[in-house]
Structure 1
Amino acid sequence: MADIDNPLLKALPPETDYLSYLTILEYNLTLEQLPTLHRILQDTTLTANIGWDLVHLLLPLLPASQQCLHDVAHLGNPREVVLKATELLEGLGGEEEADDQEETEDIEEAGELKGPGASANEAHEDRAEDGKNVASDVTTSGASSQPPSRAVQFIALLDMLSILHPRIKTKHPSRFLTTSLQAVLPAYSQVAKSTEATEAVLGFIKALSGTKRPKLPPRKSSAMIPMQATPLSAPDPEGQDEPLGVDEEGLQSRLLQSFLSYVAEAYMNSTALDEDVPGLAWSSRYQEKLHPEKIIPQRRTYGSLFAEEEHLHERDTITGHILSLARDLKLGAEELLSTITKADELDLEEEQELPSSASDVPLSKTGSIYILATMAASSTLFNAPSSLPSVSLVPDFAGILASSLGDSATGSTGAESEPLIDAVLFLGFLIINTQSMIPANGDTDHVFNNVLQRLSLLSANMPSPVLRYHAHLLTSTILHLNPSENSRLAFIKDTLEHCPFENLKASAIGWLKDEILAAEKAEQSQKAPGADDSIFATSATLTTVAPFIFPNPDNLMESQSMTDSYATFQAHRPFYLAVLNLLYLLLSSATLPSRLQMAEIAKESELPRFLDSLLQASKRFQSSISDNELEYGDEQGRNEGILGMELIEMTVEQAQHALSRVGMMDLEA
């Protein structure tokens, strides 16, 4: 198109007024016109007057319009353009449902086009391939083959903000910054899975904080085009040569600290549970470092996964950048810990009055946990210099648990994101590894028990088997660290008596077994003269818990149908097996039956009837399964059901014979 016939050039002010020219631009702006618009925007006066209203026109033309957006950011009125970019970011932050529905429809449509055998993965691959061809399509046609993704728009707007904010010259620049950050955060939460978007956010923070670190390494992306040399920015036409307001520098620094903590939260929560790798898998990697002897041969370790798998190694890289920015912003471990453990404050994401001082700006509790865990991981897993404060199990870790996990009520703990639970468990392991004993203090018993309750419920409710195991291991370790034997026994009894989860009650049997064996080992070693016997080496322990570990299960077969009775029995099976294994272990010892006075306990408790009832119930269920009274989906299910009942039967008979050998049970009777 010849310049003389180009409507963008013919209508240039003063030929038309600015408002009319914007209308002409709206109807005539195409991809082919972008080079012309770039030349036009070099007119500083023109761009200062119309730049703010071009942003929404240029955004759909990305990535080809990137250069024009930079022109607007460098030469437009920074106050007006900041407000426009913020408005568009707010729109990006509120489109989740529509975008999700649109993506689902696109995937279904792609599947229909490929035929009934096409998979969702193939449709995703088609969309990814289409994305790779956007850059070539937009240069050869009048319209893009598909609109730019939300992540591409987000990165472009963020790039503009990093140019615009330093240009604003005002007494209170924090007011513009606050508004922008409140718009950026919800928009970023929608694209946090995009590595490019995360790198853009971290680069944005670095640019506004004035740090001199090298830029993040560039990534290949078809969504962006090479940029020309950075142009000089025009001065703020409304700027005034006046000093910053009181505490303005401190307020801006605090705003960036807060923003970084919320970015850390959004990024970490976006890391998917990939092949049972929760977040950064800090707990698993720390255990591998502490106990290399427990690593299963020929099995890939979590350390090797993060070293060899690019998408996992990328997580380490990004959290490393977050940690570097936290240090540049002077966000220390003491402040992070204080934020986590103190009462809730205002949320940066909620609409509120603009802060007037740094103390008005809160950090994200969850983001603070992530950054604190990253600091800990950098020193323990990567041998970086440690900057962690001395953190205690009580009250510090108790405060971390209270802030991160749901209420200790059974229905909420364990519903949190896997990366958060992994970070919390990692901090717990780190604390107990450096704190071998907990000071005895009656005033903190309730706090200590609350820690155990939360962790034990987590071990029962957590869907991830890896995190469930770590929660169980941490619970067991912390329980055994309590110097008060009475407190340990009370917690075990309380779990056996009141816990509704059979797998957790089975864990309590394991705790009891460990305590009894540890006490037996101590008794056999050289004991100080006059030292009292451990409560776990006396009959008091089994006497206390006998009503809860040797219940009478007669009612299983009395008032319920066979199907309901079997379902109830199966639900209790982990607990029954744990009790039977404990009983057999104790009876097989040369000293424990007499030391624990198990003969007296057998007479006074329901132990004989408990064993007999279990035996009869397992035989009855086994017969019902064989006779097809209990329905199973297939032959394999039937066989597994029969084997499960045979295991109960065999274990009960072993326990009965052990009781008979020590004279506690008459098998003939």
Structure 2
Amino acid sequence: MPELSEAIKAIREGAKEDRFTYLTILQYNVTSPEVLPTLNEVLDQDAELTQEIGWDLVQMLLGIEGSETCLETVARLGNPREVVIKLMEALEGLAVAWHDEVIVDVDEPGVIPDSKIPGKFITLLGMLAILHRRIKTKYPSRFLGPSLVKVFEAYQPTPDMTASVINLVYSLSGRKRPPLPQRKSSVNVANPDQDGDASKNAPDPEAEQEDPLEEAMQQKLLQSFVTCILQRYANAHDMLWSPRLLEVYNPKKVVPGRKTITEAFRQDEELQKRDGVIGQLVALLRDLGLDECPTEFVNSIFEGPLHTDPLAAFDDFSSADDIHYSPGGAVCLIAYWIFSKDVFGSDSPQPEMHIFPDHALMLGRFLGREMQSEITSSPGIADALLAIGLGLEHRNLIKGSEDAMLMAYHHNLTLISVFHPDIQVRNAATSFAGTLLHSEPDDNNRLEILEDLLENCMFASLKACAVTWLKEEIIAAKEQNLSNQFSSPDVVERLQYSLFPDMLFLNEMSDGALVDFWAQNNLFLLQVANFAYFLFKGASSRELVPAGVGAAVGQRFVEPLVAAAERLQKADGAQDDDRMQLSILVDRLRSLGLQ
């Protein structure tokens, strides 16, 4: 390795050699941060040299700490079309490197911790902003599209990387907004295009007149790109839009003295940062012209092909109409418009949609056939979809629905309540499903939904919810003096075998099999026991029990279940919590007097 003084001398004097020789000299001498000021001085003073060799310097400089100033000079003076190509190669290398990196002890899978974010990504995006503004060609979208694809492939949804993406798009859009006031949730990264000296930018040596249709193409490309970023960021961070909306809509249900989710986001700096980043992305889309939610925008999300990777087909774009938004990003955008209006009091647009059919079709489109995998792999979209439904119901934007659509919609909501990885979102989905069920005006439809859950649902937690909702329907019919499906003994007659199934098979089970059975069904069995007490012992509900049902339930359900529960209390595999719950179950069933 050459001495520092020798390296500096070689960098200065070597510029007089031919370009190939000089590049060889640089490869040998540019190995440490100390020589970078000298190299930058040479590049800055010889624009012709930088134009010829700039693109060869990108990979060389990117690996050296403190090379940002030199790379900025390369971006301002190098041949913009050639340097852009090298930047795309560098971004592709980052994407591969990050994909292969093994991350240990990361709270959020798929997100690289802030401490590990390579500054290379931020530096490359700062260069891209300068370069794309320098390129003057007939079809600039043909450069912009591939660049955005490479940026998105290398992007990881951390605050700093998202801030650098926001800087890039603001620069490329050509819109200059006044600086926002600094907030606790603000994230700032270097932005050489806006903060540097644009007067140093060299002209494009191959400049052409831009096609008149290009402005619309570039705007739509940027809109599509930002919706992709929004989707990825929301999926990687628990925004908890639906639980927070539920707190705002139902303040009386908030437990006194316990910190709410809304308060946590207001007080915790990291949670504030999440809200701040999403807010910046939505503001960016508004600046790009996406500031309305008409019927056409809503319908585009669930009609026609599902464009899961809208940037992938950039080679086929011939007009702005060929470019599509990220459907998941569009859903997150609508959710945030509703959320920010109701939680922050923003002036967000009102979505032109209703629960039926718009939101029902949207929910069905996203969950598709692989419902569990879709919810677990895209938790942010599932939360956003739920938030939209809550907001529409709160605004009474429901409209009538066909019976089949109502049942399918309710089914999809209950799947979120089962499969979403966050318990607070699951609880919000359960609450909304119950509200929607009770608000359905047709009591036949309500009963059919409950019957379907009790007979066909494989999840004990949902069947337990169905039992709770049935009890609420019976109580409402009694209190409001209604004459409907829930006010006569017919409802118990119809549902008795779903509520109180034949449990005689438990007598043949081994202790181990009983332990497994209890683990899978305890939520439902405990809820049914409570419902049975309400039904058979309640002064106002005993009239709903048809003649002979009590004795039949005692024989086929209560007796074998009590016997199995008493065996389980002594079984080796039972935990202390299990034994306590089993004791409660036995006491409640014995109190019925049906044995």
Question: TM-score scaled by structure 2?
Answer: 0.90
TM-aligned CA distance change 1:655 to 1:31, over 3 Å? same
Residue 143 (structure 2) pairs with residue 176 (structure 1): yes
* 2:201 alignment counterpart: 233
Q: Supply the AA of the counterpart residue of 2:68.
A: Q
Residue 568 (structure 2) pairs with residue 621 (structure 1): yes
Residue 295 (structure 2) pairs with residue 337 (structure 1): no
TM-aligned CA distance change 1:398 to 1:301, over 3 Å? same
* 1:165 alignment counterpart: 132
User: Does the CA contact (< 8 Å) of 2:223 and 2:325 recur in 1?
Assistant: yes
1:388 alignment partner, one of 321, 329, 350: 350
Residues 68-125 of structure 1 show CA distances to partners (whole Å, capped at 9, x for unaligned) of 111111111111111111111111122234322xx65xx9xxxxxxxxxxxx99xxxx
User: Does the CA contact (< 8 Å) of 2:235 and 2:380 recur in 1?
Assistant: yes
Q: Supply the AA of the counterpart residue of 1:267.
A: Y
Residues 156-195 of structure 1 show CA distances to partners (whole Å, capped at 9, x for unaligned) of 000001001111111111100011111110111xx322x2
* 2:456 alignment counterpart: 498
* 2:317 alignment counterpart: 355
Question: Once the 2 structures are TM-superposed, how far is the Cα of residue 150 of structure 1 from its aligned partner?
Answer: 4.9
Residue 522 (structure 2) pairs with residue 573 (structure 1): yes
TM-aligned CA distance change 1:382 to 1:587, over 3 Å? same
- Matches for 1:185-264 after TM superposition, within 5 Å: 185-188=152-155, 191-193=156-158, 195-215=159-179, 229=197, 231-240=199-208, 242=209, 244-264=210-230
- Matches for 1:160-559 after TM superposition, within 5 Å: 160-188=127-155, 191-193=156-158, 195-215=159-179, 229=197, 231-240=199-208, 242=209, 244-271=210-237, 279-331=238-290, 332-334=292-294, 336-343=297-304, 344-345=306-307, 347-350=309-312, 353-407=315-369, 411-412=372-373, 414-435=375-396, 438-439=399-400, 441=401, 444-523=402-481, 533-558=483-508
Residues 555-593 of structure 1 show CA distances to partners (whole Å, capped at 9, x for unaligned) of 1121x3221123213422222221221121123443432
For 1:245 and 1:168, the matched residues in 2 are separated by 13
Question: Once the 2 structures are TM-superposed, how far is the Cα of residue 363 of structure 1 from its aligned partner?
Answer: 0.7
**Structure 1: unaligned runs, 5 residues or longer:** 108-119, 122-126, 132-148, 272-278, 525-532, 657-664
Q: Supply the AA of the counterpart residue of 1:620.
A: R
For 1:537 and 1:248, the matched residues in 2 are separated by 66
* 1:137 alignment counterpart: none
For 2:531 and 2:352, the matched residues in 1 are separated by 39
User: Does the CA contact (< 8 Å) of 1:41 and 1:47 recur in 2?
Assistant: yes
Q: Supply the AA of the counterpart residue of 2:239.
A: L
For 1:325 and 1:9, the matched residues in 2 are separated by 44
Question: Once the 2 structures are TM-superposed, how far is the Cα of residue 618 of structure 1 from its aligned partner?
Answer: 2.0
Residues 203-247 of structure 1 show CA distances to partners (whole Å, capped at 9, x for unaligned) of 1111111112135658688999x987555211001113x2x2242
TM-aligned CA distance change 1:642 to 1:347, over 3 Å? closer
Q: Supply the AA of the counterpart residue of 1:17.
A: D
Question: Once the 2 structures are TM-superposed, how far is the Cα of residue 391 of structure 1 from its aligned partner?
Answer: 2.1
* 1:590 alignment counterpart: 539
Question: TM-score scaled by structure 1?
Answer: 0.81
1:57 alignment partner, one of 55, 60, 69: 60
TM-aligned CA distance change 1:32 to 1:569, over 3 Å? closer
For 1:174 and 1:463, the matched residues in 2 are separated by 39
For 1:223 and 1:646, the matched residues in 2 are separated by 65
Name which one, 1 or 2, has greater alpha-carbon Rg: 1
For 1:203 and 1:223, the matched residues in 2 are separated by 6
Question: Once the 2 structures are TM-superposed, how far is the Cα of residue 414 of structure 1 from its aligned partner?
Answer: 3.7
SS state of the match for residue 11, structure 1? helix
* 1:145 alignment counterpart: none
Question: Once the 2 structures are TM-superposed, how far is the Cα of residue 646 of structure 1 from its aligned partner?
Answer: 1.4
For 2:478 and 2:225, the matched residues in 1 are separated by 54
* 1:659 alignment counterpart: none
Question: Once the 2 structures are TM-superposed, how far is the Cα of residue 300 of structure 1 from its aligned partner?
Answer: 1.5
SS state of the match for residue 41, structure 1? helix
User: Does the CA contact (< 8 Å) of 1:557 and 1:565 recur in 2?
Assistant: no
Residues 590-639 of structure 1 show CA distances to partners (whole Å, capped at 9, x for unaligned) of 34322x24334336x545431122222222333x33xxxx245xxxx3x4
Question: Once the 2 structures are TM-superposed, how far is the Cα of residue 310 of structure 1 from its aligned partner?
Answer: 0.9
Count, aligned residues: 577
1:82 alignment partner, one of 75, 84, 100: 84
For 1:463 and 1:328, the matched residues in 2 are separated by 34
- Matches for 1:22-33 after TM superposition, within 5 Å: 22-29=23-30, 30-33=32-35
Residues 122-174 of structure 1 show CA distances to partners (whole Å, capped at 9, x for unaligned) of xxxxx99xx7xxxxxxxxxxxxxxxxx65310100000010011111111111
TM-aligned CA distance change 1:327 to 1:414, over 3 Å? closer
Residues 374-430 of structure 1 show CA distances to partners (whole Å, capped at 9, x for unaligned) of 111221111112312232111111122123335376x54642333322222111111
Residue 550 (structure 2) pairs with residue 650 (structure 1): no
TM-aligned CA distance change 1:552 to 1:182, over 3 Å? same
SS state of the match for residue 169, structure 2? helix
* 1:139 alignment counterpart: none
